[in-house]
Amino acid sequence: MVDDMPMADDEAIESQGQPRPASLEDALLDGLRRGDEVAFESLIDRHTPAMLRLALFYVPSLAIAEEVVQETWLGVVRGLGSFEGRSSLRTWIFRILINKAKASGVAERRTLPLAAEGDGDAEAPSVDPSRFRGPPRGYWSSPPNYWDELPEDRLLAGETLAVIQRAMESLPAGQQAVFELRDLQQWTSAEVCKALGLSEGNQRVLLHRARTRVRSAIEEYFDAR
């Protein structure tokens, strides 16, 4: 119900957030205003990957997404003087991005209806059905392996993280955008629905597909070892 209430964009994106690491953003904003190039570069590095993933939700190619991100940063540079800090710096940047991406996306519209991109198989099972026994109880016949009990240094090893990164990169654009914003950037579901123009249900399906696929990639990786 609350999500359907009309709200100004700023408020809708800003109000329901969890606590965020504000101090780093504050420091970066200070730096930007002073003309500190290192601050600007670190802001670019910090947000560009997420921005590209989000742009790819609206436009059909990486090249166009890169243009959108580029234009966004130009907009940031030019608009900095008029940014009043009523929303967070990040929210402001992503709002510029979404506007620019939407504007390009209209011209370059993908043929695929975006919200339908739960792989087109929103009803598909999360786990290969052959891994379960039949009814009535349908226990696992091939349960998840125990990779979660591996020591932290194995889990956080570069090789493991590379597997995870590849899995994230191979997700369809909608799943990638939702996973990035929800699970990595820790936006709320209301924020993500608003930013991507998705219903709660669609958003949840995309998130579920994404998490499921990334988990499977980790499992396969440790299975093979």
Give the footprint of other proteins on this chain (CB under 8 A).
34-35, 37, 40-41, 44-46, 48-50, 52, 66, 69-70, 73-74, 77-78, 80, 125-127, 129, 132, 135-140, 143-144, 146-148, 155-156, 160-161, 164-165, 168, 179, 183-184, 189, 200, 204, 207-208, 211-212, 214-215, 218-219
- What is each CA distance from 207 to 3, 122, 126, 144, 203, in whole angstroms? 18, 11, 12, 20, 6
Give the Cα separation of 48 and 196 in Å (integer). 17
Give the Cα separation of 138 and 194 in Å (integer). 38
* Residue closer to other proteins, measured from CB, 120 or 144: 144
State the nearest-atom distance from the C-beta of 148 to other proteins, in Å.
Answer: 5
* Residue closer to other proteins, measured from CB, 61 or 70: 70
Q: What are phi and psi of 103, to 5 degrees?
A: -60, -45
Q: What are phi and psi of 132, to 5 degrees?
A: -115, 150
State the nearest-atom distance from the C-beta of 104 to other proteins, in Å.
Answer: 15
State the nearest-atom distance from the C-beta of 203 to other proteins, in Å.
Answer: 9
State the nearest-atom distance from the C-beta of 63 to other proteins, in Å.
Answer: 8
CA angle 164, 193, 51 (to 5 degrees): 50
State the nearest-atom distance from the C-beta of 21 to other proteins, in Å.
Answer: 13
* Residue closer to other proteins, measured from CB, 102 or 215: 215
Give the Cα separation of 210 and 224 in Å (integer). 21
CA 162 vs. chain centroid, Å, equals 18
Q: Which two tokens stand for residue 78?
A: 């030019």
Taking a C-beta distance cutoff of 8 angstroms, is the pair 70, 99 a contact?
A: no
* Residue closer to other proteins, measured from CB, 88 or 188: 188
Q: Which two tokens stand for residue 48?
A: 């560009």
State the nearest-atom distance from the C-beta of 44 to other proteins, in Å.
Answer: 7
* Residue closer to other proteins, measured from CB, 109 or 120: 120
* Residue closer to other proteins, measured from CB, 195 or 210: 210
Question: 96: part of which helix (H) or strand (E)?
Answer: helix 89-107
Q: Which two tokens stand for residue 97?
A: 């991005």
